[in-house]
Amino acid sequence: MKVGPTVVTESQSSDENAEISKLRRGELAATEKLVRENAGWMLAVSRRILNNDAHAEDCVQNAFSSIFNNLESFRGDSRLRSWMHCIVVNQALMLLRSRKRRNESPIDDLMPLFDENDCRVEDRWTTLETPESLIQKSQTRETVLSLIDELPESYRVVLLLRDIEEMATSDVAEMLGLSESNVKVRLHRARSALKKLLEPLLRGQSL
């Protein structure tokens, strides 16, 4: 499986091979090194998906347990980090599915509008703030993250996996049990809905 920000397509190096052998033998120093070097980014991935610190920690713990249990079957056709990324995302998705769903507003209200001639209905954009200038302002980051959280979960997850984790459409489809075209539709709808939610910010208006 190909993974975005941590994508490395070549197969594992000999150093990595040696580390994996030590891990398979259960060497404590190698195990501790693996945990200390990777728990940070794994916790960050889990927090993004689960939006809850305690659940994210559970997720990382479960992911490491799965990593240790499956080390024998790790074939080395991807880098160890990519393989671990898939495992932690899968664990987060499992936890997400087991959690009670919150009340969600329908995404249809946030979709673009068209008139009876199939022409787009869009207010004039007299101002369009640049993302670079917006992100410098205090509170923007928190505001954007809380607006992303308003998306229905099935859309938010696709947006996160594709646009933030930068996973391939085929991998997201496999993980979520969806067709690739369904992932694409969800991604576009999620982005469109988020554009609508971010409009006041982008137009330079206060929220």
Could you list the residues that contact another protein (CB under 8 A)?
A: 5, 26, 28, 31-32, 35-37, 39-45, 47-48, 57, 60-61, 64-65, 68, 112, 114-122, 124-125, 128-132, 134-135, 140-141, 144-145, 148, 159, 163-164, 184, 187-188, 191-192, 194-195, 198-199, 201-202
Specify the residue, 77 or 166, whose C-beta has the smaller distance to another protein.
166
Taking the C-alpha atoms of residue 192 and residue 174, their distance in angstroms, rounded to an integer, is 23
Residue whose C-alpha is closest to residue 156's, from 110, 187, 117: 187
Closest CA to 85 of 93, 184, 186, 99: 93
Smaller CB separation from another protein, 37 or 104: 37
Nearer to another protein, 77 or 195 (CB): 195
- Residues 6 or more apart from 92 whose CB is under 8 A from it? 45, 46, 49, 50, 56, 59
Give 68 or 74: the residue with its C-beta nearer to another protein.
68
Closest distance between another protein and the C-beta of residue 160, in Å? 9
Between helix 80-98 and helix 28-50 the angle, nearest 10°, is 50
| Least distance in angstroms from the C-beta of 60 to another protein | 7
Residue 22's alpha-carbon distances to 12, 16, 18, 160, in angstroms, are: 15, 10, 6, 34
Smallest distance from another protein to CB 84, Å: 13
Which residues are 74's β-sheet partners?
Answer: none
Nearest distance from residue 203's CB to another protein, in Å? 8
